[in-house]
Structure 1
Amino acid sequence: MTTCVDQGLRMELILASGESVPVPASLLYTSRDPFAVHIAFHVALGDPILWVFSRDLLARGLLRPSGRGDVRLWPTGAGRGAMLHLALSSPHGSAQLEAALPVVTRWLERTYQLVPPGREADGLDLEPELARLLYGTG
């Protein structure tokens, strides 16, 4: 049974000058973490830089400006040339990236085939997880 959906993705890092630099990235969704999407940015120096945020936030960001704080998304353009913009902020700095919106949309649709929207909690056994968090057991 398929438990994850992954996709290589070419993103562009937008510099302060307005120029862009290609950044290879990958999208990962797993049924073991059904509420989240994972993005890994593959930089030349060392391990990938990982970001995790809500699948619902990504879905909203494909349609309209969404998010506050550390992760903000918004679409621009239309059709095959449409872009998804992603602004990330951390104590170490901030970055603005963009990717082809149709590629991200197709990947998100594949995640919905694995775990339909609204069904994320169906496969989770929350009681042991809550006991571990609240009481340090499990």
Structure 2
Amino acid sequence: MTECIDQMLHMELLSAPEEPVALPALLSYRRRDPFAVHVTFHTEPGGPVPWVFSRELLSQGMHEPSGEGDIRLWPSGSGPGAVLHLALSSPHGYARLRTPLPALAEWLRRTYLLVPAGHEGDQMNCDAELSRLLHGAP
């Protein structure tokens, strides 16, 4: 049984007025963490930079401006040239990125085959999660 769907995706870091900088990112979706999308940006020389946000936010952001605060998403364009914009902010800085929407949509479609929308809670052992949180385990 498949437990994880991973895909490398090429994103672009947008830093005006310079040209976009290619930024590979690993997208991960795990059956055991069914509400979350994990994105690891592979930067040089700083090493990997992980972000986690909800699959629902990503899905919504592919169709309309979504999110507030640390993560904002919005689509632009249409067809094969459509892109998704991501604005990420943290105490360490701010980044604006874009990525091809069709490739991201295909990856997201595969996550819904693994865990259909509305069935995320079926994948979780709430007692075990609560025990883990109460006892300080990561």
Mark the CA change 1:13 to 1:137 in structure 2 (over 3 Å): closer, same or farther. closer
Distance in 2, matches of 1:38 and 1:26, equals 8
What's the CA shift for 1:131? Answer: 3.7
Which residue of 1 is the match for residue 59 of structure 2?
59
Which residue of 1 is the match for residue 102 of structure 2?
102
Counterpart of 1:8 in structure 2: which amino acid? M
Mark the CA change 1:73 to 1:127 in structure 2 (over 3 Å): closer, same or farther. same
Distance in 1, matches of 2:37 and 2:132, equals 23
| Structure 1 residue ranges (4+ consecutive) displaced by more than 6 angstroms after TM superposition | none
- Indicate the SS of the match to 1:116: coil
Task: Check if 1:2 corresponds to 2:2.
Answer: yes
Counterpart of 2:6 in structure 1: which amino acid? D
Structure 1 unaligned residues grouped into runs of 5+: none
Structure 2 unaligned residues grouped into runs of 5+: none
Correspondence list, 1:52-91, <5 A: 52-91=52-91
Mark the CA change 1:2 to 1:15 in structure 2 (over 3 Å): closer, same or farther. same
Distance in 2, matches of 1:18 and 1:137, equals 44
Mark the CA change 1:46 to 1:15 in structure 2 (over 3 Å): closer, same or farther. closer
Range moving further from structure 2, 112-121 or 37-46: 37-46
Correspondence list, 1:122-133, <5 A: 122-133=122-133
> What TM-score do you get using the length of structure 2 for normalisation?
0.93
Distance in 2, matches of 1:32 and 1:131, equals 15
- Indicate the SS of the match to 2:25: strand
> What TM-score do you get using the length of structure 1 for normalisation?
0.93
Counterpart of 1:74 in structure 2: which amino acid? W
- Indicate the SS of the match to 1:48: strand
Task: Check if 1:136 corresponds to 2:97.
Answer: no
- Indicate the SS of the match to 1:88: strand
Counterpart of 2:123 in structure 1: which amino acid? G
| Identity in percent | 56
Which residue of 2 is the match for residue 23 of structure 1?
23
